[in-house]
Amino acid sequence: MSSATINTSEAFADIQEEITADAAADPTKKKLGVFFWICVGWIVLVALMATFASLLPLPNPDLGNYNSVQNAGPGWGHLLGTDDLYRDIFSRLVYGARVSLVVGFGGALIGLILGGIPAMYSAYRRGRIDTALNTTSYVVLAFPALVAVIAIVSFWGHNLWKITLIIGVFGAPLIFRVVRASTLSYATRDFVLAAKALGASDRRILTRELLPNIMPTIVSFGLIAVATIIVLEGTLAFLGLSVQPPTPSWGNMLNEGASLLTGAKGQTNPWLVIFPASAMFLLLISLNVVADKLRAYFDVTEIKL
Amino acid sequence: MARYITKRLVLLIIIILFVSVASFFLVHLLPGNPATTILGPNSTPQNVATVNAQLGLNKPLYEQYFIWLGHVFQGNLGQSYTTHQTTVTIIQQSFPIDLELIIFSQIIAFAIAFPMAMHASRRPNRLFDQLSNTTTFAMLALPAFVIAPVLVLIFAVHWHVFPGPASYVPLTQNFWSNIHTMILPSIVLALGSIVVYFRLLRNDLISTLQEDFITMARSKGLSDRRIMWRHALRPSSISLLASAGVVISGLIAGTFVVELLLAMPGLGYQLISSVNQDDYTVVQGITLFVAVAIVLINFIFDFLFTIVDPRIARE
């Protein structure tokens, strides 16, 4: 085991850790705080609106209403205004959230299944399989995910499910590393030894002894993974390589807004930049805050005895 | 030390082999036939067979891979089907733009993160520290594709401080206009790096400043400034240095976004336009180049890191 190598992935995990490490101001007080619940509320609201978008009284997001004003600012007819194709920006934001959430949570789930389950088993059993999987994860992580995803998506197609799958697969090695490190820190503890001595099966030890202990790490890192994946999808969409127009996503709305910025097409619409950018910012910061507070909440090492 | 370096070198070779295999098979295993792409409407079965034979696509895959790898080692990454430039020429023309962006952004990031972290760590949890902590935490939620259009809207469209899209001037043509066009995209890229550098340096400085040798220096009557610069800064910048390789590889997404947004013909811009034109050799070539570059950058930083802190190799 090259435990001391400062590897890309380890350094990355460290940075993630360090970045999120210090937001909990007072470690002795174990409270999630109002801000935490506001952020949870926002994520839930976005998720609910995206899920039930078709039940809401929203105009068609893909078709403009040519009776309304083009590139209108926020107002009563159209809550957040219209874009260059007479389409309702609010409706497009709500439907666009679907893309971000499906790719974000779906990709993280795929990553957890492909990376997390082998990681637990590998860290618990050690041996050759562990060495092999560990080296594989180093090697795969060395390949820049964005470039790989761009290359695959460009040859395979821009379908929502394909993008979710690809991003999930490329996220798996990183999740593998995090879950493996977390499992390793518990796998040699006395309570695991005790369970073994009592004759517990591997399956029981993994699910009943180890899983509850690494669950906080999985949840908070999982949320960071969701945020990271949403950023990756947004970048792809901004580059025009995610779901294809007219289907809205926050990334391709920002792209459309940015292309109108200079007025090169004879029209300008700053709102088409401001609203998707704000929506994305609020969702990402909520995910970061929730992940961070949960991590601090469950972190036993921070309790000062 | 020697054993450590050998181990890292072996891993490097494995990784580069994987990267080359991945870049090769990316194109060959996925649906779509290059011959039909090249021929367009002329793709009759016979024509397709002829083109396949010309490109060597009728040989077994592993044989094709080694032929391709041989070409790569001779500096031949193929040719664009649309512009007929060689991929190597495209990379030679566009890579300096990315390099310039990365260098500028890192200068800006260091110039902001260092003073900020040094000031914040002097009085932890006081106003400035909390303020900069909150700001950098919020900046985590501002990826390049979100903040870049907003900054262009404010600084280029509204205030005309910086030039807007499609105003890129090559460095060799006009030095100052080139710098002027580079500032806005570099700021966008710097934001992400500032977050990482500030947070790492601040945390390390706070723990270093509590060490005994700092108390010792204080009791000797050294000034705060001298303690910060001569005693605390160097041992605190190790994790920052370790992160630099990762941060730089993380800049890819940002450079792609600003290049597309501001129509700067860098690697990202070229990659996206090749993708949009189904120019598969160029996509393959740029993918390989970027991946190998990132792998090498990380390797070099790992290596530099063991020189700065030899304890790592010893374990």
Residue B71 has pLDDT above 80, yes or no: yes
How high is the pLDDT of residue A23?
Answer: 47
Residue B72 has pLDDT above 80, yes or no: yes
The alpha-carbon gap from B71 to the nearest alpha carbon of chain A, in Å, equals 20
Degrees, nearest 5: CA angle A249-A255-A261: 135
B150, B166, B268: residue with CB nearest A277: B150
Share of chain B above pLDDT 90, in %: 36
Dihedrals phi, psi of A209, to nearest 5 degrees: -105, -50
b/e map of B145-172 (b: 16 or more CB within 10 Å)? bbbbbbbbbebbbeeeebbbbeebbeee
Model pTM score: 0.86
Contact B246 A268 (CB under 8 A): no
The predicted-structure confidence for A246-300, as pLDDT tens digits, reads as follows 889 999 999 888 888 766 666 778 888 999 999 999 999 999 999 988 988 887 6
Q: Which residues pair with A82 in a beta bridge?
A: A88
Residue B152 has pLDDT above 70, yes or no: yes
Give the whole-angstrom CA distance, residue B26 versus residue B20: 10
How high is the pLDDT of residue A296?
Answer: 84
Task: Give the count of alpha carbons within 13 A of B54, CB side only.
Answer: 10
Between A10 and A152, the more confident residue is: A152
Count of CB pairs separated by less than 8 Å, A with B: 190
Contact A156 B30 (CB under 8 A): yes
Nearest CA to B145 out of A42, A252, A149 is that of A252
Q: Are A91 and A61 in contact (CB under 8 A)?
A: yes
User: Dihedral of CA B7/B11/B14/B20: which sign?
Assistant: negative
Give the whole-angstrom CA distance, residue A38 versus residue A283: 11
Nearest CA in chain A to B292: A143
How high is the pLDDT of residue B158?
Answer: 83
A243: alpha, beta or left? (left if phi > 0; alpha if psi -120 to 50): beta
Dihedrals phi, psi of A82, to nearest 5 degrees: -125, 160
How high is the pLDDT of residue A301?
Answer: 58
Residue A159 sits at the chain B interface (C-beta within 8 Å) = no
Contact B145 A15 (CB under 8 A): no
Residue A304 has pLDDT above 50, yes or no: no
Three-state secondary structure along B137-180? HHHCCCCHHHHHHHHHHHHHHHCCCCCCCCCCCCCCCCHHHHHH
Share of chain A above pLDDT 90, in %: 41
Q: Are A50 and A101 in contact (CB under 8 A)?
A: yes
The predicted-structure confidence for A214-252, as pLDDT tens digits, reads as follows 998 899 899 999 999 999 999 999 998 888 888 899 999
A5, A15, A152: residue with CB nearest B196: A15
Residue B15 has pLDDT above 90, yes or no: no
Contact B146 A281 (CB under 8 A): yes
Contact B145 A138 (CB under 8 A): no
Contact B145 A238 (CB under 8 A): yes
Please report how the helices B280-308 and B238-261 are oriented relative to each other, as an axis angle in degrees rounded to 10: 160
Q: Where residue A2 falls among pLDDT bands split at 50, 70, 90?
A: very low
Q: Where residue A185 falls among pLDDT bands split at 50, 70, 90?
A: confident
Nearest CA in chain A to B17: A139
The predicted-structure confidence for B99-141, as pLDDT tens digits, reads as follows 999 999 999 999 999 999 999 999 888 999 999 999 999 998 9
Q: Where residue A303 falls among pLDDT bands split at 50, 70, 90?
A: very low
Q: At a CB cut-off of 8 Å and minimum separation 6, what does B207 contact?
A: B236
How high is the pLDDT of residue A97?
Answer: 94
Contact B149 A254 (CB under 8 A): yes
How high is the pLDDT of residue A82?
Answer: 81
Residue A13 sits at the chain B interface (C-beta within 8 Å) = no
A8, A277, A288: residue with CB nearest B146: A277
pLDDT (mean) for A25-50: 83
Write down the mean pLDDT value for chain B.
86
B26: helix, coil or strand? Answer: helix
CB < 8 Å from B in window 73-132 of A: none
